[in-house]
Structure 1
Amino acid sequence: MAFKLCILLAVAAVAKAGVVPVAPAGPVLAKIEDFDPAPQYSFAYDVQDSLTGDSKAQYETRNGDIVQGSYSLVEPDGTRRIVEYTADPVNGFNAVVNREPAVAVAPVVAKAAPVVASAPVVARTAPLLAAPVAYTIPRAVAARLNVPVGAPVVV
């Protein structure tokens, strides 16, 4: 009885296995004429979009197994990240990252319509900075800052 059970389980295992794919007879090789022993290329791009503020650039050159390049972009905090990189079979991939401080960008101002009648020019005699103003801290702000309610603040 055990022999019949072993035969039944073996037949079930073979049936469950299904069809096994067969590998090709020989190795698949790339065509020799498609292989370039000393590849060479060079490319570059530069994006400067004043509408969206997108600013990035990249260039790269390859001569055989040696690749050199650089890319730069403006990060969300306004700093410019510049990455200069090289890759070769001896040293591998190496990158040097530099950051430049944020550059203040002047906002785009719409051109105003020309003024037909000009107003008289009045000399300004008042100081540009006003005298200090004292006010009391509101209750909610005082609680958050842990100061007494009604404490005077000079601004």
Structure 2
Amino acid sequence: MYSKICILLLAFVGAIVAQNYHQHAEEEHGPVHYEFHYDIHDDHTGDVHGRKEARKDDHTQGEYYLIDADGYKRTVTYRVDDKSGFIAQVHREPIKGHQPAPKPVHKVLAVPVLHSYHH
């Protein structure tokens, strides 16, 4: 009897959750609009990158860039809409006078190995 009550209770809770999920999934939200941007330039690590993006309803456009390890600036310009999907264009150009970030120095320490023999 107890197990039948538990099963009925779980079925009831499951039906309520499913109903709320379907109601939530069908809700329409108002217009969407945002813009953001940032730029990073860290001389210590050599990290240089940035991004900007703007969205209005179903149309998004943006751009991001970074300095690759080979000294080229890679810029990706993109747009997204409900008809074409995601479309991106990539552009690479060399940076004049670019100095790659210094490589970390790894020191190898020699550790003597002591052997002991027991007879």
TM-score by length of 2: 0.63
Tell me: CA distance 1:106–1:83, structure 2 relative to 1, closer, same or farther (3 Å): closer
Structure 1 unmatched ranges of 5 or more:
1-18, 108-155
- 1:149 matched to which residue of 2? none
Q: Deviations over 1:23-70 (max 9, x none)?
A: 2245222299x8533100000000011111110010000000000000
Counterpart contact for 2:71–2:98, Cα < 8 Å: no
- 2:83 matched to which residue of 1? 90
Matches within 5 A, 1:1-80: 22=11, 23-25=14-16, 27-28=19-20, 29-30=23-24, 35-80=28-73
Tell me: CA distance 1:77–1:105, structure 2 relative to 1, closer, same or farther (3 Å): closer
Output the CA distance in 2 between the equivalents of 1:106 and 1:93.
34
TM-score by length of 1: 0.49
1:37 is paired with a residue whose SS is coil
The two structures, once aligned, show a CA RMSD in angstroms of 2.7
Counterpart contact for 2:66–2:73, Cα < 8 Å: yes
Counterpart contact for 2:73–2:92, Cα < 8 Å: yes
Structure 2 unmatched ranges of 5 or more:
1-6, 101-119
Output the CA distance in 2 between the equivalents of 1:89 and 1:35.
16
- The structure in which a higher percent of residues are strand is 2
1:27 is paired with a residue whose SS is helix
- The structure in which a higher percent of residues are helix is 2
Tell me: CA distance 1:106–1:73, structure 2 relative to 1, closer, same or farther (3 Å): closer
The number of residues matched between the two structures is 88
Output the CA distance in 1 between the equivalents of 2:51 and 2:72.
17
Percent of aligned positions with the same letter in both sequences? Answer: 33
Give the AA of the match of 2:15: P
Counterpart contact for 1:80–1:99, Cα < 8 Å: yes
Aligned structure 1 segments of 4 or more residues deviating by more than 6 angstroms:
none
Counterpart contact for 1:83–1:97, Cα < 8 Å: yes
